Amino acid sequence: MKSTLKQAAEAIFRANRIALASHINPDGDTLGSMLALTHALRSMNKIVVPLSQHGVPEIYRWLPGAEWIRTNTDERNFDLGIICDTGCTKRIGKDVAPVIDSARTTMKIDHHLAEGDFGDIRVVNSHVAATGELVYSLLKEMRAPFNRAIAENLLCALITDTGSFRFMNVTSHTFRISASLMQYGACPAVISELVFESRSFASIKLLGRALDALNVSDDGLIAWSFLRASDFIELKANDEETEGIVNHIRAVRGAQVGVLFREVPGMKIRVSIRSREGYDVNLVAQDFDGGGHRQAAGCSMDPPLDDAINRMLKRIREGFSNTTNTTNLQSVSSSSDTSYGE
Ligand SMILES: [Mn+2]
């Protein structure tokens, strides 16, 4: 059940105290969307509390307003609770979920494929490249005054979820919005420099180790790699520093699917899956209780690492002979394919 932008705008106008939540393992889309809303709604004199249970990764701390984000709050009884870039409260974390669930009205703004039951108001469209596009449309519907802070947050959302405008999810609409955001003072070069060219030493070293461990299946259709717990320990690295590595793995010529497994100390094995147009990795991730988009999805798996790799590769191989994974190849030109923060 989709809601109209008008219904969403009215719910926001009615609310005075508003809690916003991003998903766990936050990315540029969930944080940029949440912060753009925070700026806009505060300018309407609303009390807004932006929440991210996993905080803000280093590469996103420059986002205007990032310092406002809290990992949790004891406050309850918000008039409105909005989750950004995810369809269910499971993915905003167990500390933040009760804050949103206790709100009088709940809303989701999301472009993931999974529908779910959450949300009195549902601003959902899996055909847009980023949740930031939906936030842009909603703020326009509300006639919210735009400024540079809002524009930078939304342009960051668009740039990161489209792989710098390289993924299949990019539409002319994505560019029109981006052009508009530039007119409010956001600059793609500056944002790209801050997000992609300012990596930690450890994250570049992790990339090197993942590339060194790169494998490809005998038929060349699946490329995969892994990072061991010892890699994270030796480099004093954490999982957020692996962002983007999986795209290098999918880049192997002929590979239709790329997978990165991470044996993160103290966690289940984290798996990011990317595909080229025509292979649906959302279905694969769903079989392991994960999800995302057709061409970018993720899940967690039980150790040991070697077992997880074998089970995942077997499932992906089945997908090549199973038409549900590979149907509607020509109808996905506007479908979502974004970086999925698992
Ligand atoms: Mn997104």
Q: What's the rounded Cα separation, in Å, for the pair 32 and 156? A: 6
pLDDT recorded at residue 325: 75
Are the C-beta atoms of 97 and 49 separated by less than 8 Å?
no
Q: How confident is the model at residue 342 (pLDDT cuts 50, 70, 90)?
A: very low
Domain positions in the chain are 5-196, 202-331
Dist. CA 23 → ligand 1 center (Å) = 10
Q: How confident is the model at residue 103 (pLDDT cuts 50, 70, 90)?
A: very high
Dist. CA 129 → ligand 1 center (Å) = 7
Q: Alpha-carbon Rg of the chain, whole angstroms?
A: 19
Alpha carbon distance, N-terminus to C-terminus of the chain: 25
What are 229-264's pLDDT values in tens digits?
A: 999 999 999 999 999 999 999 999 999 999 999 999
The mean per-residue pLDDT over the stretch 123-150 comes to 98
pLDDT at 341 over 50: no
Calculate what percentage of the chain has a pLDDT beyond 70: 95
Dist. CA 34 → ligand 1 center (Å) = 11
pLDDT at 337 over 80: no
* Beta bridge pairs of residue 95: none
Dist. CA 30 → ligand 1 center (Å) = 6
Give the residue ranges of DSSP H helices in the chain.
Answer: 5-14, 28-42, 97-101, 131-141, 148-161, 172-183, 188-196, 201-212, 229-234, 245-250, 281-286, 305-321, 323-326
Give the residue ranges of DSSP H helices in 43-126.
Answer: 97-101
* Beta bridge pairs of residue 262: 227, 270
* Nearest residue to 40 via CA among 65, 75, 22: 65
Dist. CA 317 → ligand 1 center (Å) = 27
**Mean pLDDT computed over every residue of the chain:** 93
Are the C-beta atoms of 125 and 134 separated by less than 8 Å?
yes
pLDDT at 220 over 60: yes
pLDDT recorded at residue 322: 77
What are 163-206's pLDDT values in tens digits?
A: 999 998 999 999 999 999 999 999 999 999 999 999 999 999 99
Number of helices (H), then strands (E), in the chain: 13, 11
What is 5-196's CATH superfamily?
inorganic pyrophosphatase (n-terminal core) (3.90.1640.10)
Are the C-beta atoms of 131 and 33 separated by less than 8 Å?
yes
Dist. CA 230 → ligand 1 center (Å) = 30
Are the C-beta atoms of 141 and 5 separated by less than 8 Å?
yes
pLDDT recorded at residue 327: 56
Global pTM reads 0.90
The mean per-residue pLDDT over the stretch 273-294 comes to 95
Specify the 3-state DSSP secondary structure of 83.
strand
* Contacts for 3 with CB less than 8 Å, ≥ 6 apart: 107, 121, 122, 123
* Nearest residue to 56 via CA among 20, 25, 15: 25
* Nearest residue to 252 via CA among 219, 285, 227: 219
Neighbours of 323 (CB within 10 A): 8
pLDDT recorded at residue 332: 36
Dist. CA 341 → ligand 1 center (Å) = 8
Calculate what percentage of the chain has a pLDDT beyond 90: 90
pLDDT recorded at residue 116: 82
Give me the sheet containing 80-84, strands edge to edge: 47-51, 17-22, 80-84, 105-110, 121-124
pLDDT at 110 over 80: yes
Specify the 3-state DSSP secondary structure of 241.
helix
What are 31-60's pLDDT values in tens digits?
A: 999 999 999 999 999 999 999 999 999 999
Query: Please, what CATH class does the domain formed by 202-331 belong to?
Result: alpha beta
Dist. CA 339 → ligand 1 center (Å) = 7
Dist. CA 219 → ligand 1 center (Å) = 32
